[in-house]
Amino acid sequence: MSDESNYSITAKLQNQPEFIKNSAVDMYQILKLLNDITFNYYHFICGISSIETECEEMWSSYIEDMCKLSSVAKGIVFTCIRRGEQSADVECTYFFEGKYQPAILSFSPFIESKLISP
């Protein structure tokens, strides 16, 4: 049984240099760095600031790999969202300068009084 997953990686400058407005992350350079670190996966650019990764089996070293990437690409916050085969199987992790922080995903409880009629 495969554990097919898709990963979406976005990049945002945390500290924009003074006197520079609207600078952007070079996603082609980030893609090259990511491919140098992880040569077993297919990564591709999707949009202006997003890299997608399709895996037939789980990318088991993504925490370590993304920490390596973020330690090389200083000043950039990476958000990595992993979506598994099941719709409820979602993880979000932030990476910055070689460290990571798992995001806490929560859902609101059902409250009947907040139901909206169509």
| pLDDT, position 98 | 96
| pLDDT, position 3 | 60
| pLDDT, position 82 | 85
| pLDDT, position 33 | 92
Task: Tell me how crowded residue 66 is: count the other CB atoms within 10 A of its CB.
Answer: 24
3 within 8 A of 58, measured Cβ to Cβ? yes
pTM of the model: 0.77
Q: In one letter, which amino acid is 67?
A: C
Q: How many residues does the chain have?
A: 118
> 3-state SS of the chain: helix, strand, coil percent to 5?
20, 30, 45
Order across the sheet with 42-45: list the strands. 42-45, 50-55, 5-13, 76-83, 90-96, 99-102
Domains of the chain and any CATH numbers:
5-114 (3.30.70)
pLDDT along the chain (118 residues), means of 10: 71 72 82 87 82 77 93 92 76 94 83 88
Angle between helices 27-37 and 62-72 (to 10 degrees): 130
